[in-house]
Structure 1
Amino acid sequence: MRTPMVSRRTLLSAGASATMAAGTGLLFRAAPALAAPAYGGYVMGYFTESPNSVANNYGLHLAISTDGLNWTPLNQNNPVVTPTAGTGGLRDPFIMRKQDNTFVVVATDLRGTDFTQQNQYIHIWDSPDLRSFTGYRRVRMHTMPTHTWAPEAFWDASRSQYGILYSARSGNRDAFYVNYTTDFRTVSAHQLYFDPGFDVLDATMHVGSGANYLYYKSFADGRLYGARSSSLAPRSFDRGTYTSGVVNGGIEAPIVVKANDRNEWFLWGDSFSPNNGELYVWRSGDINSNGWSPLGKERYTQPLNAKHPTIAPITAAEHAAMLSRWGAPSWNRFKSYNFPDHLIRHASNAARIDPYPFDPYADAQWRLRPGLANSSGVSFESVNYPGQYLRHSNYVLVLAANDGSSGFAGDATFHRTAGLADGGWASFRSHNFTSYYIRHANYVLRIDPLGASSSAADRADATFQVGY
């Protein structure tokens, strides 16, 4: 591999400090560091897959959040940009805020699920604000006959360079490799970065003050682990694993996220199964401790069909600007309070709750319309069967076409109230049976009379989260 050349103009940029790139003899310019912004939200980048491949889309999708746990997909959960070269698709996107407070996006060059493909390139975009994406290119990272999966980037202040970290296979082992860059266009020769002596996949890095953390999936037992090092130098994490394995089985793609306003940490993992589209979360009060505990699904809601995501902090102004640019979904999903992995859906015209994920995934998407019988209420219109609404018939909820009658309008209108089991959630009272609420019973939706004297279990059955 030829050593990349750096232009004289780059070297002589006004006000640039410089450092010698280790092992290359080349001078690199340090990116100008601006004051860290005050963060007030989070952005997630991802691609989408679903169990029967209905949702498979290998462009960059975005979602935003104020708490880092419950997400609003942007652009109707459609991609905001899609690669136009290489395989024509991406997996494993990573969003990084650079030293100048603009963003770079790197991603695996792979469309679909044929993981036998060799590819030495990654996709890269620049973005000033995650509302537009420019400078698309593919950058070659190495010449090895292998893949280049799950690229991430980090700033190494000791080098005044960015490291691009990725999974590749050399010889008989999967390990992590790194290339250094200042502009995400020219990169240094690849180096072995992390090799603990067994196959690993999906590196994610958190650069701290005094300690740095690298989380990964081990193929030795299928668990997620964290390694720690005071240095960012290649091979410095090799003996630094300090956690016992989080979860056993089909989990990969760890992401470590610190809460913006407190010392709380979240570890996200992705289902190993292709086309599954299910994410899991663990929590810790101290990333230095060996103490990750699973977070119940009542605490978080992932974007629809999201796979192998990336999460980065953003400001409140960036959050608002992205929402203005891309828009919130015109539909909602409804999560059960006491079965938080279940969503309201229709199946063969019956209304029920089923565990996410499933296909057709649009069976769980609803447009909340002004109530057909009273605009102060709401009616649930199916996204994939426009003109059909949830209504009660003999107290059971079904999906049916609006026949325009006053009887249908009354049966299909409900009034949203504070959740009967939790005031932060929602319950839905029937318009024409005013003491009856939507609830699930044996996973089927119906209306039943409920009130303050009802059992806690019955009130829980009638409580839902309105989300995306």
Structure 2
Amino acid sequence: MHLSRRTFVQLTGLSAAATTIGVTATADVAAAANSAYVFAYFTESPSMTGANYGLHLAVSTDGLNWAPLNQNNPVVTPTAGTLGLRDPFVLRKQDGTFVVLATDLNGTDFGQNNQYLHVWDSTDLTGFSGYRRIRMHTLNTHTWAPTAFWDAARGQYGIVYSANNGADVFMVNYTSDFRTVSASQVYFSPGSGVLDGDIVVDGGTFYLYYKNLSNGLTYGARSSTGAANSYTTYTSGLRQGSAMEAPMLVRNNAGTGWWLWGDSFSPVNNDYYAWSSTNVGGNAWSVLNQRDYTPPLNAKHGSIAGITSAEYNALVSRWGLPAWVRLKSSNFPDRFVRHADNVGRIDAYPFDPYQDQLWKLVPGLADSAGVSFQSVNYPTRYLRHYNYEIRLDANDNTAAFRADATFTRVAGLADSTWSSLRSYNFPDRYLRHSNYVLRIDPISTATDRQDATFKVTS
């Protein structure tokens, strides 16, 4: 929500009913002001070369396609506890500033017991202050995957997290300042183990999405009060892929619909899945095609919040957009252009070395009006064609090499909002994949056009 400090002080002096009405009205105005999104996460990759347990941020204008900030390096890292974090959650507080909560866990040793959460304050996510850990309970268990929400009736925030209180449940503590918290209590325990809750308040309804540990499916529950043990599950079970957790429920800034994201759990599988719905209160989630969304590179278990255009611009100015691009296949949208043993191909992401898919898009070596693709992890090498096959070769600075490594970027042959890449020195041929291997060919069929269409993304 976006309340001024003055408005917040005035509201706190009203009756509980008036406070609820005032906050709800202001929340609607705040949501209307949001025009972009921020995604908080940590990173892992299949062989863990991309693992980093600091706070990462990415931004998006459409809520679906993401640009990592700070070159996908952390913007802040814990300095106490385990010195690492997982499952970061960003909440806009009633005064318009942000608080960041995160699991205190550095790595994948899930057998650790920890009673604390990491906490930071931030005005606009361009800087972080007041770092602290807060103790949530005295149980001999974990404190995982925090989410938080404003409870207008109580005039406090609820912090909900996964713990084991004889069974895997969600616990809650209430707070006014994210420094001192109430005693913990069970918040949601539907009779089977649960994990990774995400709570969004929409009007007078509280929505809680969670993973059911008994069957691995994601469900939605709702409550008219948000009080402990007041939720009723109302959706069928959802899952894409072989395993999934960490649901993220996101209302789009236009106020016309919702997205539900799910982490694939394993860093060796597809990183995120997504659904859309025009009615969060119904039971009708439609699977999003992976063409429609691109999560941040190597992102794991995060949270998404709406931000204003000014906050978006401040984040980009402070942390910077990626100096590299990726090329996503149109007809195999889980696959990205990469080099492997110096051969150009498309492979299902994620993979390691993950840097094999990162390209510096530079002016064409033979014609600056075109483009060339310089490898990020082998910066003396470029994608070029040789006997019509795409290879990663060192630039020998010959005219032939420069021409082979230069492409003209045009509107996508299968989708004009995407891109196709025409060979500079064989202009009747385009970059395309065939049996997942890259080459340049003349394009004639609908399949050819799909094979030759890519999304230039982060």
For normalisation by structure 2, the TM-score amounts to: 0.94
Label 1:443 to 1:390 Cα distance change in 2 as closer, same or farther (>3 A). Answer: same
Would you say 1:398 and 2:388 are equivalent positions? no
Match of 1:144 among 139, 146, 156: 139
Using the alignment, how far apart are the partners of 1:291 and 1:209 within structure 2? Answer: 20
Match of 1:5 in 2: none
| 1:72-91 aligned within 5 A | 72-91=67-86
Q: Give the residue type in structure 2 aligned to 1:138.
A: R
Using the alignment, how far apart are the partners of 2:131 and 2:402 within structure 1? Answer: 51
Q: Give the residue type in structure 2 aligned to 1:224.
A: T
Match of 2:449 in 1: 459
Deviations 1:169-206 (A, max 9, x none): 012x1000111101000111111110101100001001
Using the alignment, how far apart are the partners of 1:16 and 1:259 within structure 2? Answer: 27
| 1:353-392 aligned within 5 A | 353-392=346-385
| 1:41-440 aligned within 5 A | 41-171=36-166, 173-237=167-231, 240-247=232-239, 249-273=242-266, 276=269, 278-440=271-433
Using the alignment, how far apart are the partners of 2:269 and 2:149 within structure 1? Answer: 29
Using the alignment, how far apart are the partners of 2:175 and 2:156 within structure 1? Answer: 6
Shift of 1:163: 0.5
Q: What stretches of structure 2 of length at least 5 have no aligned partner? A: 1-7, 17-21
Shift of 1:14: 6.9
Shift of 1:49: 0.2
Q: Give the residue type in structure 1 aligned to 2:106.
A: R
Q: Give the residue type in structure 1 aligned to 2:210.
A: Y
Deviations 1:356-402 (A, max 9, x none): 11000000000011111110011100000011001100000000000
RMSD over aligned CA atoms reads: 1.9
Deviations 1:328-378 (A, max 9, x none): 100000000011111000000000000111000000000011111110011
Match of 1:3 in 2: none
SS in structure 1 of the partner of residue 88 of structure 2 = strand
Q: Give the residue type in structure 2 aligned to 1:242.
A: Y
Label 1:19 to 1:214 Cα distance change in 2 as closer, same or farther (>3 A). Answer: farther
SS in structure 2 of the partner of residue 36 of structure 1 = helix
Deviations 1:244-298 (A, max 9, x none): 1002741000010011103211100001225656010011111111111211100
How many residues align? The count is 442
Q: Give the residue type in structure 2 aligned to 1:63.
A: A
Shift of 1:69: 0.3
Q: What stretches of structure 1 of length at least 5 have no aligned partner? A: 1-12, 22-29
Shift of 1:17: 2.8
Q: Give the residue type in structure 2 aligned to 1:406.
A: A
8 A contact 1:335–1:465 mirrored in 2: yes
8 A contact 1:150–1:202 mirrored in 2: yes
8 A contact 1:19–1:159 mirrored in 2: no
Shift of 1:210: 2.5
Runs of 4+ with deviation above 4 angstroms: 13-16, 18-21, 30-35, 274-277
SS in structure 2 of the partner of residue 298 of structure 1 = helix
Moved more, 40-49 or 269-278: 269-278
For normalisation by structure 1, the TM-score amounts to: 0.92
Using the alignment, how far apart are the partners of 1:112 and 1:19 within structure 2? Answer: 46
Q: Give the residue type in structure 1 aligned to 2:67.
A: T
Label 1:123 to 1:20 Cα distance change in 2 as closer, same or farther (>3 A). Answer: farther
Using the alignment, how far apart are the partners of 2:327 and 2:264 within structure 1? Answer: 22
Shift of 1:19: 9.9
Q: Give the residue type in structure 2 aligned to 1:420.
A: L
Using the alignment, how far apart are the partners of 2:207 and 2:276 within structure 1? Answer: 16
Shift of 1:215: 0.6
SS in structure 1 of the partner of residue 291 of structure 2 = coil
Label 1:274 to 1:466 Cα distance change in 2 as closer, same or farther (>3 A). Answer: closer
